Structure 1
Amino acid sequence: MTTTPPLLDQALVSPDAALKGQAVISAQEAQRLRALPPTEYWAGVAAELEWAEPWTQILDGELGDFRYFVGARGNVSVNCLDRHAAKTPEKVALHYEREDGLTETWTYGRLTTETARFAAVLEDLGVGQGDRVSLLLSNIPEAFIAIHACYRIGAIYSVIFAGFSAAAVRDRLEDARPRVVIVADGTLRRGKVVALKPVLDEARRGIESIEHVIVINRLNLDVTSQPDEHDWAALMARTERLAAPVMLEANDPGFIIYTSGTTSKPKGLVHSGLGFLVGTYANVKWSLNLRPQDSYWCTADVGWLVVPIFALVGGMANGVTQVLYEGSIDTPTPGRPYELIEKYGVNKIFTAPTALRMLRRAGQDALEGHDLSKVELISLVGEPLDPETWHWTADTFGAFVNNTYGQTETGTAWASAIVGVTDTKAGSCGQTLPGYRAEIVDEGGQPVEAGQLGFLTLTEPFPCLARTVWGSPQRYHDTYFSEFPGRYASADAALFDADGQLWVTGRVDDVMNVSGHRIGTMELEAALITHPAVSEAAVVACPDELRGAVPVAFVVPRAGVGDGAGLNEELAEAIVRGVGKYARPAAVHVVPTLPRTRSGKIMRRLLRDLLEHGEVRGDLSSLENPDALDVVLSHLQR
């Protein structure tokens, strides 16, 4: 594959003096850690955590079938809660705030006690090690309590995104076969009540594995009740016992998380509990460098793996005070995020590029009257970040912007700047963190040179890599290890530049061959975002008999911008100027909205379906706004 140079014209950006002063290691030490054999590095990280029994072997096996810290025993909840509660029980763990203004404060002492109590509730209902517990919850403190209670007793949990349809929820329940399901009566989303219990009522019919349902009455909605259902508050009120933590082997499964499929059912990826802990603890340490005095906000939804990585496990393992927000962050006004940052003195944020584009689209008026001076760092993950949004963020917040890269399968954002230590570039994903070995390869699996676009792979095991697909080990092997034997295949297109910075340009399916030029969609979208009329952009490949493929662009304009033919031509020219004549799009569609997930990511595969087939043929369980499909299709049919 080849790439186009404009994307790589960004200069290295160093952390400012304040972040450098926070750094826990030097640049030389970072280089040494990166050069260590992964097993030696991970053993050093694990030694910083609490274990009941040591490992007898660091690594056994290879990619596709391995065990890390063989024989070691410990508990995730002990490392995330108990050890902090023992030292600083009154320290705030969570500042919870809901869209309607409801607030709660949870200390490490209180959170630990309530987690141990709910773990006893689960044990009294017959839940033990290896049993599955499914959770249909939004960003509420009970989600943290329930998940850590599962960790405490060795139950395997699975969070189901609260925006899923009953059919999508049912798919996940049928696959995991949980004994217990925990559900909130409802949640708030953009000023509206979203009832969750009726969704579960429909989804669970006929699933015989479910013995108990625990209902959390957060909104006091009028919900139906069945004999096997229990009220969370009543169970907790009559349970005095605090469950002792079960010491689990390092490779015992901790949770199942489902990824959306394109044509087949979602995959239930299985992560080990303690391996995930080790990976996320290090990830948060390097990508955020959280300190005891920091006030930190991870804006993601608990149904997305970013929350377990950067808040629920990795964040709490580092003992930080966090903001937990339930609802849409731009409700009731676009200035709400800035209000929360000021109110809680937030100085470090973890979010997604889409959230930043949303703030940018809202305009500078939303910033008026808000003090953002404490913000030092904004870290990101989720999708390619265009340089324009990177620069807007850095200028608006006066903060270091650390874009990272990871996947649900990898369990961490393994490419990142080491905050306060290493440089980044606007739009890149930083460098490979210590403990990981990544290579870009061509179609034949051979490593390519710096600056050459190819297939992103990982070449050695690491503790937080997903270990299997629940109930389907062959699917796990076929999906991730069959294309390039001996490597984990990410299915993402990427390159390393001459400075070792990683640039992920999109899914392999989004890399197109246009008249012999291989290009990723990120370059084209970055060129579009530079146009002052553009708020968001998505580019997909459309098959073409003559050129092999042609780019087709979808653009959401800024407020007050029309969609006349003149604008379409201007946007096409923006791509020509930024990338080259060969990349001129076959069409530019200016649309008011695009299909996206709850976390805000644009679902480009659905746009491809609409272009090629006039309908969507893939999985829709992650789609938040189904009406967007009709809107886009109507524009295509004009």
Structure 2
Amino acid sequence: MSYPYQIKSFEEYQQAWQYSVTDPEGFWAQVADNFYWRKKWDRVLEWNFKDPDVKWFQGAKLNITENCLDRHLGTLGNQPAIIWEPNDPEERHRVLTYRTLYNKVCQFANVLKNNGVKKGDRICIYMGMIPELAIAVLACARIGAIHSVVFGGFSAQSIADRIQDAQCSLVITCDGAFRGGKDIPLKSVIDDALIGCPSVKKVIVCTRTRTPVSMLKGRDVWWEDEIKAVETQGNPSCPAEEMDAEDELFILYTSGSTGKPKGVVHTCGGYMVYANYTFVNTFQYKLGEVFFCTADIGWITGHSYIVYGPLSAGATTVMFEGIPTFPDAGRFWDIVDKFRVTTLYTAPTAIRSLMGFGLGPVNHKDLSSLRKLGSVGEPINEEAWHWFKDNIGKGRCPISDTWWQTETGGIMITTLAGVTPEKPGYATLPMPGIQPVLVDENGKEIEGNGVSGNLCIKFPWPGMIRTTYGDHERCRKTYFATYENLYFTGDGCMRDEEGFYRITGRVDDVLNVSGHRIGTAEVENAINMHAGVVESAVVGYPHDVKGQGIYAFVILENMSKDLDLFRKDIIQTVSRIIGPIAKPDKIQFVSGLPKTRSGKIMRRILRKISENELDNLGDTTTLLDPGVVEEIKRNRLS
């Protein structure tokens, strides 16, 4: 399988980008011609950013799993599709060839059908990083069910919110999951979540940890039993449901600047084309290479670059159950060595964490198979970039510092490995088909180089968000209402003298903690649910490992109580309501918050205090009580 749309030189990149801007429809039609469509499109693109209403490949019919599985069987049937490495290095790894994966997906698709799942039903998937997670995702897509994968670290309340929002009819989970030295009781968390979720009629439970679980008669069934039932029916195949290019493929919930997570909706045709195109070009993938993305499938990175991007390209993709520091900090390098990994795509948080262990865990590991490195989740700082390049890539592997979002579906600005120029700390240049612009606060475009502004995109691309599930107005307000006729990313950005882009961080009330977006309002809502809390305000601050840490300023009803215990209680409350990823790193108890006379909390001031910029707070005389600021400064946590 060759990729006629793979860019091989900087000159080709410049030509492709120019073509994609002057004739976007011609450009994307040419790329899309390389996929299997049951029926070709009548129109490539119809769009406006006002409503917003974006449709790609209108009238086309397809099923994404036929492009990820069926079309590879003749030529790549015996090639590894997924290599799974378990949490415990002593446990045997698994290799699923394209033929095996196809059979297992068909089998589980029939299980879903036996359990009443129909095209258009929403299915919640809450599993650990085992091959069955990828199988479940693809099985949903095969029969036209819409999957909503929830990261295995979220709390029962967070899962319940997502299930209720999407009105899921079925949940797929495991008895438990292994993550480092921990066992996560997934089924038990699901049981708690489902107390308030009457839409869920069935729960399919896959065995992983052999943790004792409660199984409700009539609702809960074992994955293994359901597979046996399908086997006795004697028909392993499952015809793929014909989908319209604009039919919904999946919902993925992401934090926003308001408390309620929003369900980002991606559709079948455009998402498939974009995930594949960006995978093949960013990582310059060649057939037979081993691609290792260290993300969890619960995040968009796992959807696009463990499952759909690599599999639609006939690639071999590594899926890892564990964490980078268990049983020791050499785990990533062991996996690279063991499977002769060609491309390693990971997060700056992981890199910075591993830097802290020095070079001992890297030494004596054979990393000679590596050809390309990638970074995702947040801008990678220069120190980490050089450490990654010098010690892991041995100075010979290009680094793709990729910028993109859940909402964009795939990589937007990046170095194409070994093809376009790289620069430490910079995402560099846009993918073909992507038209970034920088605007000022009034939405006026800032032209030229050596400038900074808010990053927007001025023309649609196939992988972009179509709506927020069940609330299209929220989609319009969040992404398309800030600046007219532009998609607003929520990120600040600078464009240097060479025209390279550098992302400077969020400009809205969203934190980027270890590459995961968490809304400040979401954390504040959770803190405020603690019985002793009157009010709170949350901001981000620079964190050596996570990129951003969470700093909470909290007013208590009674300041004379045991404050250390209160801190622990608040952390426990946030963990229970959202999940451990959202717990504050610092909690400062205060008597008041800096507010305007209209009652608005001035988070800008709190952010400066958290960053220790105490002499740069701006004018505080207009505040309701300027004295509050002095008290907060005095008691700032270092």
User: Shorter-chain TM-score: what band?
Assistant: 0.7 to 0.9
Counterpart code for 1:71: G
Is the contact between residue 253 and residue 264 of structure 2 (CA under 8 Å) also seen in structure 1? Answer: yes
Partners of 2:74 and 2:588 in 1: CA distance: 55
1:85 to 67, 70, 73: 73
Measured at CA, do residues 633 and 219 of structure 1 come closer, stay the same or move farther in structure 2, by a change above 3 Å? farther
Letter in 2 for 1:143: L
Give the TM-score of the pair, scaled to structure 2: 0.80
Q: How far does residue 28 in structure 1 lie from its aligned partner after superposition?
A: 2.3
- 2:228 is equivalent to residue 229 of structure 1: no
Letter paired with 1:610: F
SS of the aligned residue for 1:255 comes to strand
SS of corresponding position for 1:424: coil
For the residue of structure 2 that corresponds to 1:364, the secondary structure is: coil
Q: Which runs of 5+ in 1 are unaligned?
A: 1-21, 512-520, 526-539, 541-550, 557-593, 595-600
Q: Could you tell me which residue of structure 2 aligns to residue 339 of structure 1?
A: 334
Partner of residue 244, structure 1: 239
1:174 aligns with 2:169: no
Structure 1 contact 424–501 (Cα < 8 Å) conserved? no
- Equivalent residue pairs, number: 537
Q: Deviations over 1:555-601 (max 9, x none)?
A: 55xxxxxxxxxxxxxxxxxxxxxxxxxxxxxxxxxxxxx8xxxxxx5
Q: Choose which of 10, 13, 17 in structure 2 pairs with 1:27.
A: 10
In 2, Cα distance between equivalents of 1:288 and 1:282: 10
- In 2, Cα distance between the equivalents of 1:80 and 1:23? 18
Q: Tell me the residue number matched to 1:70.
A: 58
From the superposition, tell whether residues 39 and 627 of structure 1 become closer, same or farther in structure 2 (CA, over 3 Å): closer
2:420 alignment partner in structure 1: 422
Alignment CA distance shift 1:432-1:260 (3 Å)? same
Q: Distance in 2 between matches of 1:179 and 1:628?
A: 34
Q: Give the RMSD, CA atoms, in angstroms.
A: 2.7
- Give the match for residue 8 of structure 1: none
2:122 is equivalent to residue 123 of structure 1: no
1:98 to 73, 80, 86: 86
2:203/2:220 contact within 8 Å kept: yes
Alignment pair present for 1:483 and 2:482: yes
Does the 8 Å contact 2:158/2:579 carry over to 1? Answer: no
For the residue of structure 2 that corresponds to 1:416, the secondary structure is: coil
Matched residue, 2:314: 319
Task: Please state whether the residue corresponding to 1:238 is helix, strand or coil.
Answer: helix
CA distance in structure 2 between the aligned counterparts of 1:373 and 1:206, rounded to whole angstroms: 52
Q: Which moved more, 1:205-214 or 1:147-156?
A: 205-214
Alignment-derived partner of residue 496 in structure 1: 495
DSSP 3-state at the match of 2:407: coil
Q: Which structure is richer in relative contact order (CA contacts within 8 A, separation 6 or more)?
A: 1
3-state SS in 1 of match to 2:451: coil
- Deviation of 1:489 after TM superposition, in Å, equals 0.5
| 1:610 maps onto 2:553 in alignment | yes
For 1:294, the equivalent position in structure 2 comes to 289
| In 2, Cα distance between equivalents of 1:356 and 1:48 | 36
Contact 1:38 1:436 in 2 (8 A): no
Report the CA distance between 1:127 and its aligned residue: 1.2
Match of 2:405 in 1: 407
Does 2:368 match 1:373?
yes
Partner of 1:209: 199
Equivalent-residue separation in structure 2 for 1:394 and 1:28 (angstroms): 25
SS of 1:432 mapped into structure 2:
coil
Q: Is the 8 A contact 1:98 1:326 kept in 2?
A: yes
Q: Work out whether residues 260 and 622 of structure 1, in 8 Å CA contact, stay in contact via their aligned partners in 2.
A: no
The answer on whether the counterparts of 2:292 and 2:319 sit within 8 Å (CA) in structure 1 is: yes
**Deviation per CA, 1:417-440, whole angstroms, max 9, x where unpaired?**
222321110110020110111100
Greater shift in the superposed pair: 238-247 or 265-274: 238-247
Aligned letter for 2:63? N
Name the aligned partner's letter for residue 553 of structure 2: L
Partner residue of 2:530? none
In 2, the alpha carbon distance for the partners of 1:622 and 1:304 equals 15
Q: Distance in 2 between matches of 1:494 and 1:308?
A: 26
1:60 partnered with 2:46: yes
Q: Provide the C-alpha distance between the structure 2 equivalents of 1:433 and 1:552, rounded to a whole number of angstroms.
A: 30
State the AA in 1 paired with 2:585: L
User: Is contact 2:157-2:578 (8 Å) kept?
Assistant: no
1:451 aligns with 2:450: yes
- Structure-2 change in CA distance of 1:223 and 1:42 (3 Å): same
Alpha-carbon spacing, 1:611–1:452, altered in 2? closer, same or farther (3 Å): farther
Going from structure 1 to structure 2, the CA distance change for 1:626 and 1:131 (only over 3 Å counts) comes to: closer
Checking the alignment, whether the CA contact within 8 Å between 2:265 and 2:465 is kept in structure 1 is yes
The 3 A distance-change label for structure 1 pair 627 and 633 is farther
Task: Kindly indicate whether the alpha-carbon contact (under 8 Å) linking 1:298 and 1:311 is maintained by their aligned counterparts in 2.
Answer: yes
Measure, in 1, the Cα distance between the counterparts of 2:65 and 2:220. Answer: 26
For residues 383-420 of structure 1, give each alpha carbon's deviation from its aligned partner in whole angstroms, at most 9, with x where no partner exists.
Answer: 11111111111101222111010011111111112223
* Residue deviations 1:57-93 (CA, integer Å, cap 9, x gap): 0011223201100000111111111111232211111
Contact 2:457 2:487 in 1 (8 A): yes
Q: Aligned equivalents of 1:145 and 1:375: distance in 2? A: 28
Measured in 2, the distance between the counterparts of 1:324 and 1:201 equals 27
Partner-residue secondary structure (3-state), 2:329: coil
Q: Match of 1:505, as an amino acid?
A: T
CA drift at 1:54: 0.4
**1:149-188 maps to which residues of 2 (within 5 A)?**
149-188=139-178
**Identity over aligned residues, as a percent?**
33
**Which residue of 1 is the match for residue 130 of structure 2?**
140
What per-residue deviation string (whole Å, max 9, x for no partner) do you get for residues 71-130 of structure 1? 001111111111112322111111111111321111110000110111111112221111
Counterpart of 1:424, as a letter, is: E
Indicate the SS of the match to 1:115: helix
**1:623 to partner: Cα distance:** 4.9
Q: Sort the Cα spacing of 1:611 and 1:510 in 2 relative to 1 into closer, same or farther, 3 A.
A: farther
CA distance 1:610–1:451, change in 2 (3 Å):
farther
Note the 1:301-312 alignment, pairs <5 A.
301-312=296-307
State the Cα deviation string for residues 503-546 of structure 1 (Å, max 9, x = none). 000001489xxxxxxxxx99xx9xxxxxxxxxxxxxx9xxxxxx
In the TM superposition, what is the alpha-carbon distance from 1:262 to its structure 2 partner? 4.2
Q: Distance in 2 between matches of 1:405 and 1:289?
A: 17
Give the structure 1 partner of residue 36 of structure 2: 50
Equivalent residue letter for 2:82: L
CA contact (8 A) 1:261 1:619 kept: no
1:38 offset after TM fit, Å?
Answer: 2.0
Report the CA distance shift for 1:176/1:424 in structure 2 as closer, same or farther (over 3 A). Answer: same
Q: CA shift at 1:624, angstroms?
A: 2.9
Instruction: Indicate the SS of the match to 1:50.
Output: coil
Structure 1 residues 29 and 147, CA, compared in 2 at 3 Å: closer, same or farther?
same
Q: How many Å apart are 1:378 and its aligned residue?
A: 0.7
Q: Compared with structure 1, are the counterparts of its residues 508 and 125 closer, same or farther at alpha carbon in structure 2 (3 Å cutoff)?
A: same
Cα distance change, pair 195–165 in 1 and its aligned pair in 2 (3 A): same
Alpha-carbon distance, 1:610 to partner: 3.4
Could you say which residue in structure 1 is the equivalent of 2:255? 260
Cα 1:99–1:304 change in 2 (3 A) is same
In structure 1, distance between residues paired with 2:59 and 2:302: 28
Matched residue SS, 1:254: strand
Separation in 1 of the partners of 2:102 and 2:95? Answer: 13
Structure 1 residue 368, shift from structure 2 partner: 2.2
| Residues in 1 aligned to 2:588 and 2:316: alpha-carbon distance in whole angstroms | 42
- Deviation of 1:602 after TM superposition, in Å, equals 4.5
1:577-592 equivalent positions in 2, closer than 5 A: none
Amino acid at match of 1:116: C
Deviations 1:467-506 (A, max 9, x none): 0011101111011111101100011000222222110000
Secondary structure, counterpart of 2:96 in structure 1: strand
Q: CA deviation at 1:445?
A: 1.0
Equivalent-residue separation in structure 2 for 1:506 and 1:630 (angstroms): 20
